[in-house]
A and B are shown apart, each in its own frame.
Chain A
Amino acid sequence: GAGVSQSPSNKVTEKGKDVELRCDPISGHTALYWYRQRLGQGLEFLIYFQGNSAPDKSGLPSDRFSAERTGESVSTLTIQRTQQEDSAVYLCASRTGLAGSTDTQYFGPGTRLTVL
C-alpha cells in the first residue's frame, strides 16, 4: 500500500483480556517501530525491528507486552491481561532502514485502545 496501515482503528476491551494490534508497513521498509501515546502525552518508544536482526525491546513497559514481525512485513503487538493503564493510542511507523541513513519514519493512523 501507499502508507502504513494499522488495524483495528479502535479497540475496546475488558480488563484482563488479551489484545492484538496489527501493523502493515510500507512495502520495502525493513525498519518497523511501535510507539505508545497516552492521552495528552508524547510518544513512548516500545519496540524496533530491523530486518532479520534481534528486535530492540528496550521500551516495552512489562512482560505483558510482546511483538512479532514476519520477515519484513506485518507486525503484531500483543498485550496480555490488559490493564486500564494500557489505554492509549498505539502507533506504528516504518522506514527504509538503510544503514546509517537519516530517512524518515512514516507513521500509521494508530489503534486507539480502551480498556474498561
Chain B
Amino acid sequence: AQSVTQLGSHVSVSEGALVLLRCNYSSSVPPYLFWYVQYPNQGLQLLLKYTSAATLVKGINGFEAEFKKSETSFHLTKPSAHMSDAAEYFCAVGGTGFQKLVFGTGTRLLVSP
C-alpha cells in the first residue's frame, strides 16, 4: 500500500522568501514521486517527478525536490517565491505497473507582497 502525507494545509510566505512544502510517503515498493501544481479552476500540471535516477530533481518554474529514502521524504523547495507561485500543490506517489497515483491532501501556498 502507498500513502502520502503533506504537512500543513496552508503555507504563507513573503515574496522573495524560501518556499518549503513538505511531503512524506509510505510505499512497500520503490516509489515514483511527483509534485503537481493546481492553479484556480484549472487541472493539475506536473512540476517534477522522481523516478529512481538523480535524488535531486529539478522542475519547472524554479522548483526542485530531493528524494530522501532514509527520511521517506520528498519536500518541494524554491529559493525565492513569486506572487505567481500562489496555488495548490499536491504530492503523489506511484509504483510500477499501471502507476495509479496516490495523492496527498494538498498544500495551499499563499504569497504576500
**Chain A interface (Cβ < 8 Å from any Cβ of B):** 4, 31, 33, 35, 40-45, 48, 50, 56, 59, 91, 93, 95, 97, 100, 102, 104-110
Chain B residues packing against A (C-beta within 8 Å): 4, 9, 32, 34, 36, 41-46, 49, 51, 90, 92, 96-106
Assess the B43–A4 pair: CB atoms within 8 A: yes
B46 touches A48 (CB 8 A): no
A-B interface contact total, Cβ < 8 Å: 57
A45's nearest neighbour on chain B, judged by CB, is B100
Chain B residue nearest to A41 (CB atoms) is: B105
Complex: chain A residue closest to B92, CB-CB: A43
Q: Which of B51, B96, B98, B106 meets A56, CB within 8 Å?
A: B98
Given A42-B106, A102-B32, A110-B100 contact (CB < 8 Å): no
Closest partner residue, chain A, to B104 (CB atom): A42
Residues of A within 8 Å of B98, CB to CB, are 31, 48, 50, 56, 97
Contacts A42-B90, A91-B43, A107-B43; A56 near B105 (Cβ below 8 A): no
Whether A104 pairs with B43 at a CB distance below 8 angstroms is no
Known pairs A44-B103, A102-B99, A110-B43 / 15 extra A-B pairs, C-beta < 8 Å? A33-B101, A42-B106, A43-B90, A45-B100, A48-B98, A56-B98, A93-B44, A97-B98, A100-B96, A104-B46, A105-B46, A105-B99, A107-B36, A107-B44, A109-B42
- CB-defined contacts of A4 to chain B, threshold 8 Å: 43
In the complex, how many angstroms separate the beta carbon of B58 from the nearest chain A beta carbon? 15
Inter-chain contact A33/B100, CB cutoff 8 Å: yes
